[in-house]
Structure 1
């Protein structure tokens, strides 16, 4: 959760409005699809509350895409 927001802050500082949060070092590939969805749920809910858009077709065990609406 904190890691995602640290990465978002870095990208925003650089002026990015869409970017990919890379999580492949967490080695989530061995989890079933439903398991890593549960892991991401808290982060995705908070991002949605804050107005960020999760790119639905971009997320998997390696990470996910985010867009910042204008």
Structure 2
């Protein structure tokens, strides 16, 4: 029986601007894949633990989502 190509989804949570944000991540072939609010971000984890890299990526996705909401014109 062969090993799965990737790990199952893991829950992930970060605190940003006083609010908790939840996403998921998985590890595949030396890379961490983070999903948050319909967005995906990928990075290799090298010498760092995958969980640490996943939190960095999720924080970046949250920051990007907050920034894009501020830039939207009012209707």
* TM-score, with length taken from structure 2: 0.29
Name the one with the larger helix percent. Answer: 1
Larger radius of gyration: 2
Larger relative contact order (Cα-Cα within 8 Å, sequence gap ≥ 6): 1
